């Protein structure tokens, strides 16, 4: 058997967990398993051991990662069952370390999951399945997991628990019927080298890879929210390359595979209101590297930032970083109409569109017409006698969903002109939208509702100038009164000087409430701020110096003072109040 070196894998394989593994049956079949203290311990040992044996057969030489952090496991039981927990998984790993199933075991230190290697790989606890584990024959078991609908966090690939809804129930029911059809269908996998349920094929690069042929169940994976991703994964034919898929036989017939040519670039051009002409992967100056150009276009569509795109492409082109930068510039020049969608995380949104197209096609052909249709994201494998049927279905469902691409992309497309902020609520600048969508979306129902909400929250009630001055004046009085206790000594000295200078005044010189006198031509004069004046200035007295005020605790509340000021204002307007009565 070919042992693949570690350098051929850029990332560790996630821990394989077979929820339907049976501890007693595996021990009877000769699998070297230690005994567990509880039922959950035995289930964890059987599930992990089954994953180790399957990985040793199909991915020899590849490490498997797992977490030793307690925060990783809460909420995961809905995907892996009750036996999947911190104590059971970590305990099973400790007990399996000395078994012949594991060849190497590296435990990560606390905080290693926050650090990355120079190649961008996160440091985690990892195990290396033993070569001898590939020779162990497992008893028959159901390969379908507990949850066929999965919500995954993009940051660390952790599965997120969710609440059941009617839409999720319909998706799961559809997958249950689809997987039941695949389990009963007459599907044969020819070619390659077979070893039990595993088949080994040669890739284009000359590496041998293994596929578990017993895996026929599909599951859907969404990312962060239900509007991102949604593609189908898990089936054996999805792990094969195109040459190996040609050797599949369905119902005794050779197969025909039809795919959407340059699907994601076509969707982006449609969102920009332009028709894609020619080959999207034919980049001037790189016509002899079509595979690298194809990978570069897809990397630009899926990347979240420009440095990420350069780093990802540099691993697939000769010349490293500078060659990747030159190729990206050539791609941007070739596809200038859709360049604003590059490295903007548009790929995960387009996956939601192509997964909806895939769902409709498989639902029509397999569940309604009974034609076995195997999906590989944007390509579909059917018996050769149904060639015309699948092509017609692909055209109809593509035309049905393509008009919604602009809405999906504009929901939260990231550009240099629209950067998400802590207050970002999903609004997109008009300049960040495609030109074909600006006019249509300016008067949409969502925009009209948004304007209604803004008009309610922005209170633009006009208040008379006198009332606003009064309220502003008393707000300053209230603020100063709070600081009177700390400056009591200064206030008393200032009060004594004021009493000597204005001894004739019987009342204490407290600053008065400002009111505004409106003249005849005031309506035609632009408004200007009014400076506060004292009682003496308002009544015509000449003052060379503004008196200092003595601030005493008020015996009346602010609302009472405001009501008194309003009463005087109204009386003055009606001519019933004379200046001496104030």
* 501-546 pLDDT, tens digit each: 445 444 444 444 343 333 434 334 344 443 444 444 444 444 444 4
State the pLDDT at residue 172: 94
Radius of gyration of the chain (CA): 37
State the pLDDT at residue 566: 84
Residue 570 has pLDDT above 60, yes or no: yes
Do 252 and 227 form a contact (C-beta atoms < 8 A)?
no
Average pLDDT score over residue span 175-200: 92
State the pLDDT at residue 314: 86
Mean of the per-residue pLDDT values of the chain:
77
Closest CA to 369 of 352, 379, 383: 383
Residue 500 has pLDDT above 80, yes or no: no
Residues 19-46: tens digit of each pLDDT: 889 999 999 989 999 998 999 999 999 9
State the pLDDT at residue 493: 55
Residue 353 has pLDDT above 70, yes or no: yes
Confidence of residue 253 (pLDDT cuts 50, 70, 90): very high
State the pLDDT at residue 335: 93
Provide the 8-state DSSP code for 367.
I
State the pLDDT at residue 287: 85
DSSP string, 476-495: HHHHHHHTTTTTHHHHHHHH
Residue 448 has pLDDT above 50, yes or no: yes
Ranking 76-80, 177-181, 185-189, 545-549 by mean pLDDT, the lowest is 545-549
Confidence of residue 103 (pLDDT cuts 50, 70, 90): very high
Q: What share of the chain is helix, strand, coil (3-state, %, to 5)?
A: 45, 10, 40
Number of H helices, E strands in the chain: 19, 15
Average pLDDT score over residue span 304-309: 90
State the pLDDT at residue 550: 58
Average pLDDT score over residue span 360-387: 95
State the pLDDT at residue 334: 92
Do 126 and 76 form a contact (C-beta atoms < 8 A)?
no
Provide the 3-class DSSP secondary structure of residue 408: helix
More confident residue, 219 or 408: 219
Cα-Cα-Cα-Cα dihedral of 288, 292, 295, 300, to 10°? -90
CA dist 168 to 143, 145, 229, 301, Å?
Answer: 21, 16, 14, 28
Residue 77 has pLDDT above 80, yes or no: yes
State the pLDDT at residue 139: 87
Confidence of residue 179 (pLDDT cuts 50, 70, 90): very high
CA dist 117 to 10, 11, 112, 227, Å?
Answer: 11, 11, 10, 32
**C-alpha count within 13 angstroms, C-beta hemisphere, residue 144:** 18
Q: Helix 347-362 crosses helix 387-401 at what angle (to 10 degrees)?
A: 130
State the pLDDT at residue 428: 35
Residue 451 has pLDDT above 70, yes or no: no
Provide the 3-class DSSP secondary structure of residue 513: coil
DSSP string, 115-158: -B-TTSPBP-EEEEE-GGGGGPPPPP-----S-SEEEE-TTT--
| Cα angle: 235, vertex 238, 239; to 5 degrees | 100
- Provide the token pair at 562: 């405001």
Residues 255-290: tens digit of each pLDDT: 999 999 899 999 999 888 888 888 899 999 888 888
Sign for the CA dihedral angle at 412, 415, 417, 418 comes to positive
State the pLDDT at residue 367: 95
State the pLDDT at residue 561: 81
Q: What are phi and psi of 414, to 5 degrees?
A: -105, 130
Ranked by mean pLDDT, which of 58-67, 452-461, 512-521, 564-573 comes out on top?
Answer: 58-67
Residue 441 has pLDDT above 90, yes or no: no
Euclidean distance between CA atoms 357 and 260, whole angstroms: 11
Q: What are phi and psi of 467, to 5 degrees?
A: -65, -40
Euclidean distance between CA atoms 151 and 76, whole angstroms: 11
State the pLDDT at residue 233: 94
More confident residue, 111 or 343: 343
Average pLDDT score over residue span 293-315: 90
- Provide the token pair at 546: 């503004």
CA dist 546 to 509, 537, 552, 582, Å?
Answer: 11, 9, 18, 20
More confident residue, 205 or 445: 205
Three state DSSP letters for 220-288:
EEEECEEEEEEEEECCHHHHCCHHHHCCEEECCEEEEEEECCCHHHHHHHHHCCCCCCCCCCCCCCCCC
Give me the percent of the chain exceeding a pLDDT of 90. 41
Provide the residue ranges of all domains of the chain, joining segments of one domain with +.
1-142, 264-348+393-447, 465-581
Provide the 8-state DSSP code for 379.
E
């Amino acid at each position: 058997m070919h042992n693949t070196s570690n350098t051929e894998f850029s990332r560790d394989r996630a821990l394989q967990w077979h929820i339907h593994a049976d501890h007693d049956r595996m021990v009877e079949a000769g699998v070297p398993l230690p005994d567990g203290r509880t039922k959950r311990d035995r289930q964890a040992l059987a599930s992990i051991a089954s994953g180790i044996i399957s990985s040793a057969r199909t991915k020899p030489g590849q490490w498997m990662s797992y977490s030793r952090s307690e925060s990783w496991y809460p909420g995961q039981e809905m995907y892996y069952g009750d036996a999947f927990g911190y104590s059971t998984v970590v305990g099973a790993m400790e007990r399996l370390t000395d078994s012949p199933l594991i060849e190497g075991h590296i435990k990560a230190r606390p905080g290693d999951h926050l650090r990355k290697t120079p190649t961008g790989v996160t440091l985690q606890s990892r195990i290396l399945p033993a070569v001898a584990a590939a020779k162990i024959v497992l008893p028959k078991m159901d390969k379908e997991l507990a949850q066929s609908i999965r919500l995954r966090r993009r940051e660390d690939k952790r599965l997120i628990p969710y609440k059941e809804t009617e839409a999720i129930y319909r998706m799961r029911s559809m997958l249950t019927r689809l997987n039941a059809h695949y389990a009963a269908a007459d599907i044969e996998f020819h070619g390659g080298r077979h070893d039990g349920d595993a088949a080994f094929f040669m890739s284009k690069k000359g590496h041998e890879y293994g596929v578990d042929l017993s895996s026929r169940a599909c599951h859907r994976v969404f990312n962060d929210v239900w509007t991102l991703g949604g593609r189908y994964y898990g089936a054996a034919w999805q792990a094969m390359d195109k040459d190996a898929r040609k050797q599949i036989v369905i119902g005794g017939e050779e197969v025909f595979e039809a795919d959407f040519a340059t699907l994601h670039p076509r969707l982006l051009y449609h969102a920009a209101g332009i028709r894609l002409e020619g080959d999207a992967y034919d980049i001037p100056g790189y016509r002899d590297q079509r595979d690298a150009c194809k990978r570069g276009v897809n990397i630009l569509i899926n990347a979240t930032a420009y440095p990420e795109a350069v780093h990802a492409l540099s691993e697939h082109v000769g010349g490293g970083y500078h060659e990747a930068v030159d190729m990206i510039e050539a791609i941007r020049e070739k596809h200038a109409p859709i360049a604003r969608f590059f490295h903007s995380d548009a790929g995960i949104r387009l996956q939601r569109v192509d997964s909806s197209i895939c769902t409709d096609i498989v639902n029509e052909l397999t569940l309604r017409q009974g034609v076995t249709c195997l999906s590989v994201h944007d390509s579909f494998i059917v018996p050769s006698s149904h060639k015309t049927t699948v092509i017609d279905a692909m055209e109809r469902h593509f035309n049905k969903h393509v008009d919604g691409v602009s809405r999906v992309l504009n929901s939260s497309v990231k550009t240099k002109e629209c950067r998400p902020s802590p207050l970002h609520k999903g609004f997109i600048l008009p300049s960040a939208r495609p030109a074909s969508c600006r006019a249509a979306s300016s008067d949409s129902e969502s925009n009209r509702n948004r304007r209604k909400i803004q008009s309610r929250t922005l209170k633009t009630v006009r208040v008379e100038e006198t009332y606003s001055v009064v309220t502003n004046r008393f707000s300053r009085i209230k603020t100063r009164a709070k600081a009177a206790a700390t400056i009591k000594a200064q206030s008393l000295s200032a009060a004594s000087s004021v009493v000597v200078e204005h001894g004739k005044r019987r009342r204490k010189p407290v600053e008065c409430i400002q009111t505004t006198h409106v003249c005849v031509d005031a309506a035609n004069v632009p408004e200007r701020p009014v400076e506060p004046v004292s009682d003496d200035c308002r009544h015509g007295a000449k003052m060379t110096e503004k008196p200092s005020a003595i601030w005493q605790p008020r015996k009346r509340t602010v609302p009472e003072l405001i009501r008194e000021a309003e009463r005087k204002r109204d009386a003055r307007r009606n001519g019933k109040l004379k200046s001496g009565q104030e």
